[in-house]
Amino acid sequence: MSKVWRRGLPFTAEVAPFVRHMPLVEEHREGLVRLQGAWDSLALLGQMSGAATDMAHTRSAFQALTGSLLDSLARRQLDNAVQRLQGKAQVAIDILVRNLFERTADVGFLAADAPLRALVAGADLAADARPALEARFRAYVAKYSVYDDIVVLSPQGLVLARLDRSVALTHSADPLIAEALRPGTPFVERFGTTELLGGRAGLIYASAVRAADGTAGVLCLSFRLVDEMAGVFRQLLAPADRTVIVLLDAEFRVLVSSDPWQLPPGAQLPPARQHRLVFAGRDYLAVAAPASGYEGYRGPGWSALALLPVEQAFVDDEAAPAGPDHGFEQLAASVDTRELFDAELRGIPLEARRIQRDLSRSLWNGKLRSRLNRSGAGGTDFAVTLLNEVERTGQQLRQVFEQAIGNLHHSALAAVFDAAQFHARLAIDIMDRNLYERANDCRWWALDGELQQALAGGSAEAASARLRHINSLYTVYALLLVFDAQGRIVAVSDPAHAHRVGERLEQPWVTETLALRDRERFVVSPHQACGLYGESGETPTYVYAAALPAPDDETRVLGGVAIVFDGAPQFAAMLRDALPQEGQGSALLLSRDGRVVASSDARWAAGAVGPLAPALLDLGAGDTQRCELTLDGVVHAVGIAMSGGYREYRQGVARSDRDVAAVMLVPLGRRLIVAATAPLAFVPPPLPPSTEGTLDIASFMVDGQWLGLPAEQTLEALERPRITGMPNTPAALIGMLSHHEQMLPVLDLGLLRGGRPSADADAPVLVCQDGRGQRLALRVQELGPVFSIAPAAAQPSPALGGLVAAGRERLVRGGGDAAAMLTLIDIDELRRRLSAGAGEALDLIGA
User: Tens digit of pLDDT for each residue in 153-206?
Assistant: 989 999 888 888 889 898 999 999 999 999 889 999 999 999 999 999 999 999
Reported residue count of the chain is: 847
C-alpha distance across the termini of the chain, in Å: 51
Note the pLDDT of residue 807.
46
- Model pTM? 0.74
Write out the H or E segment, with its range, that includes residue 628.
strand 624-631
Average pLDDT over residues 63-76: 80
Sign of CA dihedral 575, 580, 585, 591: negative
Quick: pLDDT tens for 559-589. 999 999 998 888 888 888 888 766 678 899 9
CA 725 to chain centre: 48
Distance set, CA 84 to CA 417, 423, 465, 751 (Å): 12, 11, 48, 52
Q: Which of 76, 664, 89, 91 is nearest to 415 (CA)?
A: 76
Residue boundaries of the structural domains of the chain:
14-83+323-417, 695-844
d(C-alpha 670, C-alpha 634), whole Å: 4
What confidence category does residue 329 fall into, taking pLDDT thresholds of 50, 70 and 90?
A: low
Quick: pLDDT tens for 604-658. 988 889 999 888 988 888 888 988 888 888 888 899 999 877 776 666 666 777 7
Q: By the 8 A CB rule, do 627 and 639 touch? A: no
Distance set, CA 199 to CA 167, 168, 196 (Å): 9, 11, 7
What confidence category does residue 665 fall into, taking pLDDT thresholds of 50, 70 and 90?
A: very high
Note the pLDDT of residue 235.
82
Residue 7 above 90 pLDDT? no
Helix (H, G, I), strand (E, B) or coil at 385: helix
Q: Which of 560, 540, 534 is nearest to 442 (CA)?
A: 560
Average pLDDT over residues 486-497: 92
Quick: pLDDT tens for 794-823. 888 775 443 333 446 889 988 876 678 899
Write the class of the CATH domain 695-844. mainly beta
CA 153 to chain centre: 50
Distance set, CA 73 to CA 62, 189, 260, 405, 408 (Å): 16, 46, 33, 8, 6
Distance set, CA 322 to CA 162, 317, 338, 593 (Å): 58, 11, 19, 32
Write out the H or E segment, with its range, that includes residue 370.
helix 343-372
Helix (H, G, I), strand (E, B) or coil at 4: strand
Note the pLDDT of residue 493.
93
How large is the C-alpha radius of gyration of the chain?
A: 39
Paired strand residues for 747: 733, 778
d(C-alpha 46, C-alpha 35), whole Å: 16
Residue 378 above 50 pLDDT? no
536-560 burial: b if 16+ Cβ within 10 Å, else e: eeebbbbbbbbbbbebeeeeebbbb
